Amino acid sequence: MSSKTLLDYIPGYLIIPPDAFGISPSALGKFITKPWEWYQTEVLGEKVFDYSTSTVLGTIVHFLAEGYTKDIDRDTRRDNITRYLFNFLEEDDETEFLKLTYEERLIYLVENYTSDKLDMNYIIEQFPVMGMKLVEHLQRTGKPSQSERTIEAKICTGYHVCGTVDAVHNG
């Protein structure tokens, strides 16, 4: 990916001491059920995360919830989502892309995404629907006091649990 956006993942290990080992709560299930895979990915770093339709869609929906929670304006949300998706195209220069309207950007993304890795059309069809459902839920339950916050806690010397909290309600 080339262009930085508000949707870019910030790994938890960035907030722990450089000589410490970070343990992600989301990887805990794999530690328990498949410790050999956990060791390969988390300790040896052998498998690099690769994007999928589901993970890209999930990232956008999380961002829409964060946008609602943190009052990120509509134009900023739209700009960041389309630039985030543009990064999956096999193009380096987004100059002309940025001149397009939001609707034109969405059409451009569908028409110019050539890999079979992601279903760009599905992502663009679903993120507004899924985002709206999540925002409706937040409107019913109340805005969280915090969202998409990177946190860490020391377990013992040299080891920290670290990751991103989706939402915090009532502390």
Residue 1 confidence (pLDDT):
44
The average confidence (pLDDT) of the chain is 90
Alpha helix (H) residue ranges in the chain? 28-33, 35-38, 53-69, 74-86, 95-98, 102-112, 120-141
What letter represents residue 122's amino acid?
Y
Largest CA-CA distance found in the chain, in angstroms, rounded: 52
Residue 48 confidence (pLDDT):
64
Strand order in the sheet with 146-156: 21-23, 159-168, 146-156
pLDDT digits (tens, 9 = 90+) for 93-126: 999 999 999 999 999 999 999 999 999 999 999 9
Rounded percentage of the chain residues whose pLDDT exceeds 90: 55
Could you give the CA distance from residue 35 to residue 26 in angstroms, rounded to a whole number? 14
Other beta carbons less than 10 A from residue 118's beta carbon: 18
Report yes or no: 61 and 135 within 8 Å, Cβ to Cβ: no
- Residue 145: which pLDDT band, with cuts at 50, 70 and 90? confident
The DSSP string of 74-114 is HHHHHHHHHHHHHTTSS-S--HHHHTS-HHHHHHHHHHH--
Could you give the CA distance from residue 163 to residue 151 in angstroms, rounded to a whole number? 6
